[in-house]
Amino acid sequence: MSRPVASADVFVAIADPTRRALLDLLRIGEQPVKQLAEPFAMSLPAISQHLQILCEADLVQVRKAGRQRLYRLNPEPLKQISNWIADYEQFWQEKLDALGNYLEENSCSD
């Protein structure tokens, strides 16, 4: 069984703060790379590399409009992560509820 390329891994893609910030910017809507690069103190090629990783992870989709490339958010892979994390949230909530019950039952009375 072959493993996907690491850069195609959604977790790897969102691990970087710059890429998370790019995703936040794309929530507003489709944007060209120059507009996406404005808030960052890095070169356009560096931003393009980050966008390429996001594209490989299917978090961002790109289309050409004339000479521009327009990037837009694809939130579906993030929903999959959210669903996966929800199972762990349920697990920890059950553990915290059990701890709370234990502490209430075994509290020291003065």
Instruction: Classify burial at 37, counting beta carbons within 10 Å of its beta carbon; exposed 0-12, middle 13-18, buried 19 or more.
Output: buried
The pTM score is 0.76
Tens digits of per-residue pLDDT, 29-58?
999 999 999 999 999 999 999 999 999 999
Banded model confidence at residue 110, pLDDT cuts 50, 70, 90: low
pLDDT at position 87:
86
d(Cα 88, Cα 84) in Å, to the nearest integer? 7
Average pLDDT, whole number, for the chain?
90
